[in-house]
Amino acid sequence: MAAPNKKWWKKSVVYQVYWRSFCDSDGDGYGDLEGVIRKLDYIRELGVDIVWLNPVYESPDLDNGYDISDYEAIMRKAGTMETWERLLTEVHRRGMKLMMDLVVNHTSDRHPWFIESRSSRDNPKRDWYIWKDAKDGKEPNNWRSYFSPSAWEWDEATGQYYFHSFAPEQPDLNWRNPEVREAIYRMMTFWLDKGVDGFRLDAIALLAKPDDFPDADRPEDIRYLTNNPGLHDYLREMNERVLSRYDVVTVGEAAFVTPEEGLKFVGEDRRELDMLFHFEICDEMPGWDMIRFKQIQRRWYAGLWGKGTNSQFLNNHDHTRQVTRYGNDGPYRVQSAKLLATMLHTLPGVPYIYQGEEIGMTGVRFDSIEDYNDIAMINRYAEEVGKGRDPMEVFRELQALSRDNSRTPMQWDDSPNAGFTTGTPWIRVNPNYLEINAAKDRSSPDSVYRYYQELIRLRKEHDVMAYGDFEEWPEWMDDERLYVYTRSLDGVRWLILLNHSDEPVPFEWPERVRSLTLRLLLANYPPRGDESERTATLRPHEARIYELLDDARR
């Protein structure tokens, strides 16, 4: 297959900073931008190239910043514009780039645009949002939203419903209206002129809405919210009007896309976005499923390679920590965290690290719904309990995938509140911080943190990790425990061997490699001295990266 074109961001590693849970500099219990600045050396020492900062704009903060009330101001909890500017300077001073999270599908209901829009039916901004009359005295259609039972909210004052893909406090903008698009492009230009290096575009597959909002056959399957006609016209226009004028990188959060759909977002000849997050894993694979995971990787590689860029991630601020959800957070936590890292950093695509992943932080199980803050969980809990279900049963059901699993504070050290804050943290700290924390990891040569450093160093030194073709070894394609594949570029060939299971698994080297020399580049266990040329035994959650050398290259 054609190797991808080279661009600066294709060889990069992105680190996601969920700032409110990262580092609190002033003791108010919320992480803040000053706190992020303090920890930039930590991020830099990992080897990271791009920092993705979750939304910091002015917001009533009902959905943790994804409900923006002023796009050109900084939320008080986070800091001031002056601090933000200093953060940008400090990121750049360390040779890194800053990627801002931007929400353009919806605003907060407190945004002045919406306040005007809802003020009367003939307000000039009425059409900036999506308003519809009631149908037979009810909602215009039967769609659900992500966070509530209906995507429509009744507005008593003007006697119409407005549309919201998420909470009722997050009304969707009407992208059909050219004035809305102009206002968004102007706002993006404001940030680009300040020097940001790119955007993570929130819920970007939701921008376009259908003409007529037909009823869904199965309202519980909310795919209808995404990928509606017109979406790619908007993205092309955004690219032409804004993005193409700067040397920036974009990643779109694209729910419910297949590789065929995905290529429309990131195909390099289409001039829309650079990378995407698809959710075939995080939204649709509740627990680890090796066969399915391999199929997903295969399909996306076939669909995008040489044409557009994928991202590799298994968790973020919305999805439970990977070592808990997809690995082993018990006896093999360290090995498992390293195995997952090896996989994400050697599969084709740009790897994303979610804060705390690099020290193997785990999910959490708090005792009661009162300990949780996630609006998705709380609204769903109220809905289900409202139907008369047993509250404890509902609570238990929602716990495993609550978004708060990954939102607990970063565990810096073993001091109170894990060194995150001197005040009362906005969300409880995971009690395992005495055992799992950055200070401990950084001082131990075998830690998860050190392993991430090694992986990132390898990416910097070897183009094959970013640009190499991907090929699975056919003998293990259907294996439920082992994942075996190569990456190859210009005669350099790497082999990745992963045992994603709690048991030791025997491995027999195929005939065709017995004449090659294997040079071990990185592994999460010490090398065994007792392996023959024909067989090996992979220990639980063992990961190895080899370079394969034939005679000419030895």
Of residues 49, 58, 172, 253, which has the active-site annotation? 253
53-112 positions binding ligand TEU, by CB under 6 A? 63, 66, 103
The only residue of 15, 19, 22, 146 in contact with ligand TEU, by rule CB under 6 A: 146
CB 339 within 8 Å of CB 314: no
CB within 8 Å of 211: residues ≥ 6 apart: none
The residue number whose beta carbon is nearest to ligand TEU equals 255
CB 327 within 8 Å of CB 337: yes
279 near ligand TEU, judged by CB under 6 A: yes
Q: Whole-number minimum distance, CB 279 to ligand TEU, in Å?
A: 4
Parallel, antiparallel, or unpaired for β 482-489 and 492-499? antiparallel
Handedness of CA 166, 149, 113, 70 (dihedral sign): negative
Residue closest to 321 by CA, chosen among 397, 434, 407? 407
CB 253 within 8 Å of CB 246: no
Q: Whole-number minimum distance, CB 431 to ligand TEU, in Å?
A: 25
Q: Which two tokens stand for residue 490?
A: 């210009």
How far is the C-alpha of 263 from the C-alpha of 275, rounded, in Å?
10
Residue closer to ligand TEU (CB basis): 318 or 357: 318
354 near ligand TEU, judged by CB under 6 A: no
Residue closer to ligand TEU (CB basis): 55 or 540: 55
User: Is residue 222 helix, strand or coil?
Assistant: helix
Residue closer to ligand TEU (CB basis): 20 or 544: 20
Q: Which stretch binds ligand TEU (CB under 6 A): 6-14, 277-285, 335-343, 457-465?
A: 277-285
The 170-209 contact track toward ligand TEU, x by CB under 6 A, reads --------------------------------xx------
Residue closer to ligand TEU (CB basis): 203 or 482: 203
Residue closer to ligand TEU (CB basis): 188 or 498: 188
Of residues 101, 202, 272, 358, which has the active-site annotation? 202
261 near ligand TEU, judged by CB under 6 A: no
Residue closest to 170 by CA, chosen among 318, 59, 245? 59
Q: Whole-number minimum distance, CB 57 to ligand TEU, in Å?
A: 12
CA dihedral 208→214→216→221, nearest 10 degrees, is 10
Query: Could you tell me where the DSSP H helices lie in 31-159?
Result: 33-38, 40-46, 81-93, 112-117
Q: How many chain residues bind ligand TEU (CB under 6 A)?
A: 14
CA dihedral 514→519→524→529, nearest 10 degrees, is 70
Q: Is 202 a catalytic residue?
A: yes
Residue closer to ligand TEU (CB basis): 282 or 538: 282
The radius of gyration of the chain from alpha carbons, rounded to an integer in Å, stands at: 24
318 near ligand TEU, judged by CB under 6 A: yes
Q: Which stretch binds ligand TEU (CB under 6 A): 85-93, 278-286, 321-329, 482-490?
A: 278-286
User: Rule CB under 6 A: which residues touch ligand TEU?
Assistant: 63, 66, 103, 146, 166, 202-203, 253, 255, 279, 282-283, 317-318
> Which residues are annotated as catalytic?
202, 253
